């Protein structure tokens, strides 16, 4: 990698920690600083070995606070912004923290990136900004039609980035990927929740008719795409990242149960998520022109992911205990009660 030093915000979260682990492994000369507020979603365990060995400098700090951003960005040649509030269900309950982190926090980062003249700023965004797709693949010029407060906040961050690229010529790129899965993903999200519930012998709460579709990408493939865009993307441009093989949630749930060795009777159809986006579909040819292509097939990657959760039971049991357990029970009690069919 041509980068001497990078700042990774949100590097203790799911994709951020996988990204940091990949860069540390494959580009040991790159100096890595992680800035992370360690919200409920952040987990220092995800990168503890790298911090302990000195491969990563960790700063606990909040992108909503300009002073923290200023300190962390010192000497960074390239900034990767993974820090965000990310869970759609939480954003439906309460969106203020999403607006603060995903928009205001992004603005703080952009301001200092400009002042400190970083070589490149990389905004990690999502396919959800285009909203639900009714059969059509969205490309990078498609209109933004967010379907929930999370994706609306991500739109705000993206638009501020594009404004900085245009107004101040800040050299930045935006990646918009489809749903990621893999090691270190928080248990509130669909795939880890279903794997760990299955392992605990609990029900798997499927929203609505279970036929909502997502185009799952293995986290390592997304991390490689982000690196490719950072190195070779054009200033001011957006790059969609996707595999192009959407599948219904029900099929994914059945595959998880098969790998965990449980029967489909554990699936419970519950009240649908409010405003639930039916499908996200991306046209992602632009990133392929940069030389990227996914290396991983869904089925073996899912098997590897299930194995990771089996081998790292302590990791997710700690995440799933305490505050999360309370949140989960409050959130799902009602909806589970409304579950009718198995
Ligand atoms: P995550 O929720 O697992 O991790 C987010 C990280 O950001 C956590 O470590 C958290 O502590 C940190 N953070 C949150 N608010 C912060 C703040 N104010 N200051 C500093 N740190 C803060 O999220 P993820 O799934 O790894 O997603 C990373 C990025 O990728 C997000 O921007 C998300 O929108 C985007 N994305 C995710 C997916 C997906 O499927 N997970 C798909 C497309 C895009
Ligand atoms: P999620 O992992 O929350 O990602 P996103 O909503 O950002 O795509 O959910 C993925 C899909 O799984 C989505 O269609 C909602 C569905 N889902 C369930 O059916 N049950 C659940 O308990 C969760 C968390 C998600």
Q: What is the pLDDT of residues 65-121, one digit of tens each?
A: 999 999 999 999 999 999 999 999 999 999 999 999 999 999 999 999 999 999 999
pLDDT in tens, 200-218: 999 999 999 999 999 999 9
The residue to mutate among 8, 11, 12, 15, having the most atoms of ligand 1 within 8 angstroms of its beta carbon, is: 15
| Residues with catalytic roles | 127-128, 150
Residue of minimum CA distance from atom 24 in ligand 2: 190
Vertex 85 angle, CA 80 and 90, to 5°: 160
User: What distance in angstroms lies between residue 205's CA and the mean position of ligand 2's atoms?
Assistant: 10
User: What distance in angstroms lies between residue 91's CA and the mean position of ligand 2's atoms?
Assistant: 13
pLDDT in tens, 275-333: 999 999 999 999 999 999 999 999 999 999 999 999 999 999 999 997 777 777 777 77
Average pLDDT on 16-38 reads: 98
Sign of CA dihedral 290, 240, 168, 85: negative
- Phi/psi zone of residue 332: left (φ > 0), alpha (ψ -120 to 50 degrees), beta? alpha
The residue to mutate among 58, 72, 84, 102, having the most atoms of ligand 1 within 8 angstroms of its beta carbon, is: 84
Please identify, by atom number, the ligand 1 atom nearest to the C-alpha of residue 179. Answer: 40
The residue to mutate among 149, 190, 202, having the most atoms of ligand 2 within 8 angstroms of its beta carbon, is: 190
Ligand 2 contact, 150 CB (< 6 A): no
Q: In sequence order, what DSSP letters do the residues of 239-254 get, joined into one string?
A: EEE--S--EEHHHHHH
Under 8 Å CB-to-CB from 114, ≥6 apart: which residues? 164, 168, 170
C-alpha pair distances (Å), 111 with each of 68, 70, 75, 141, 190: 13, 9, 15, 25, 35
User: What distance in angstroms lies between residue 82's CA and the mean position of ligand 2's atoms?
Assistant: 20
At 340 the pLDDT is: 53
At 342 the pLDDT is: 47
Q: In sequence order, what DSSP letters do the residues of 43-61 get, joined into one string?
A: -GGGGHHHHHTTSEEEEE-
Please identify, by atom number, the ligand 2 atom nearest to the C-alpha of residue 277. Answer: 14
At 323 the pLDDT is: 77
- Count CB neighbours of 4 within 10 A: 13
Average pLDDT on 220-239 reads: 98
How many whole angstroms separate alpha carbon 160 and alpha carbon 102?
10
Q: Quick check: 42 pLDDT over 90? A: yes
Please identify, by atom number, the ligand 1 atom nearest to the C-alpha of residue 177. Answer: 43
Calculate Rg over the CA atoms of the chain: 19
pLDDT in tens, 188-197: 999 999 999 9
Vertex 204 angle, CA 200 and 206, to 5°: 165
Q: What are residue 33's DSSP bridge partners?
A: 7, 57
At 331 the pLDDT is: 75
Please identify, by atom number, the ligand 1 atom nearest to the C-alpha of residue 127. Answer: 43
Q: Quick check: 341 pLDDT over 80? A: no
Spatial strand order in the sheet of 78-81: 56-60, 31-36, 5-9, 78-81, 120-126, 172-177, 237-241
- Give the number of whichever ligand sits closest to the CA of residue 58: 1
Phi, psi at 45, each rounded to 5°: -55, -30
Q: Quick check: 338 pLDDT over 70? A: no
The domains found in the chain, sorted by start residue, are 5-271+278-338 (3.40.50.720)
Both tokens of 77, joined, read: 């040649």
Which residues have C-beta atoms less than 6 Å from ligand 1? 9-10, 12-16, 36-39, 41-42, 62-64, 82-86, 101, 105, 124, 126, 154, 177, 179-180, 186
- Count CB neighbours of 182 within 10 A: 24
Both tokens of 122, joined, read: 């990389």
How sure is the predictor about 62, in pLDDT bands with cuts at 50, 70 and 90? Answer: very high
User: What distance in angstroms lies between residue 263's CA and the mean position of ligand 1's atoms?
Assistant: 32
Residue of minimum CA distance from atom 23 in ligand 2: 190
Average pLDDT on 124-152 reads: 96
CA 202 to chain CA mean position, Å:
25
User: What distance in angstroms lies between residue 200's CA and the mean position of ligand 1's atoms?
Assistant: 26
Please identify, by atom number, the ligand 2 atom nearest to the C-alpha of residue 89. Answer: 3
How sure is the predictor about 336, in pLDDT bands with cuts at 50, 70 and 90? Answer: low
Sign of CA dihedral 98, 100, 103, 106: negative
How many whole angstroms separate alpha carbon 174 and alpha carbon 82?
11
What is the share, in percent, of the chain residues with pLDDT greater than 70? 97
Under 8 Å CB-to-CB from 140, ≥6 apart: which residues? 176, 237, 238, 239, 240, 286
User: What distance in angstroms lies between residue 10's CA and the mean position of ligand 1's atoms?
Assistant: 6
Please identify, by atom number, the ligand 2 atom nearest to the C-alpha of residue 213. Answer: 14
Please return the burial class of 299, using the count of CB atoms within 10 Å of its CB with bins 0-12, 13-18 and 19+: exposed
User: What distance in angstroms lies between residue 177's CA and the mean position of ligand 1's atoms?
Assistant: 13
């Amino acid at each position: 990698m041509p980068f001497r030093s990078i700042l990774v915000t949100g590097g203790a979260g799911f994709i951020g920690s996988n990204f940091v682990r990949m860069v540390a492994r494959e580009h040991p000369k790159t100096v890595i600083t992680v800035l992370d507020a360690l919200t409920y979603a952040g987990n220092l365990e995800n990168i503890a070995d790298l911090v302990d060995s000195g491969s990563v400098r960790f700063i606990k700090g909040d992108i909503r606070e300009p002073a923290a951003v200023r300190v962390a960005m010192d000497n960074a040649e390239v900034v990767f912004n993974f820090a965000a509030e990310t869970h759609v269900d939480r954003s439906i309950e309460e969106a203020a923290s999403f607006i603060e982190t995903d928009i205001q926090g992004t603005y703080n980062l952009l301001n200092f990136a400009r002042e400190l003249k970083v070589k490149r700023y990389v905004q990690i965004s999502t396919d959800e900004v285009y909203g639900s797709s009714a059969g059509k693949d969205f490309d990078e010029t498609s209109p933004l039609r967010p379907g929930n407060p999370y994706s609306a906040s991500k739109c705000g961050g993206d638009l501020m980035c594009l404004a900085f690229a245009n107004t101040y010529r800040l050299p930045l790129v935006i990646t918009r990927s489809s749903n990621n899965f893999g090691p270190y993903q928080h248990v509130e999200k669909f795939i880890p929740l279903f794997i760990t519930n299955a392992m605990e012998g609990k029900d798997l709460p499927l929203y609505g008719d279970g036929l909502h579709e997502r185009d799952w990408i293995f986290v390592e493939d997304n991390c490689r795409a982000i690196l490719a865009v950072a190195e070779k993307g054009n200033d001011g441009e957006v790059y969609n990242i996707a595999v192009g093989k959407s599948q219904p949630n029900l099929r994914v749930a059945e595959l998880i149960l098969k790998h965990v060795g449980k029967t489909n009777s554990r699936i419970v159809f519950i009240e649908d998520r409010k405003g639930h986006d039916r499908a996200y579909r991306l046209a992602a040819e632009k990133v392929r022109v940069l030389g990227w292509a996914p290396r991983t097939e869904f089925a073996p990657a899912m098997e590897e992911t299930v194995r990771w959760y089996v081998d790292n039971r302590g990791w997710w049991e700690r995440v799933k205990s305490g505050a999360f357990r309370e949140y989960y029970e409050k959130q799902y009690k009602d909806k589970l009660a409304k579950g009718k069919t198995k």
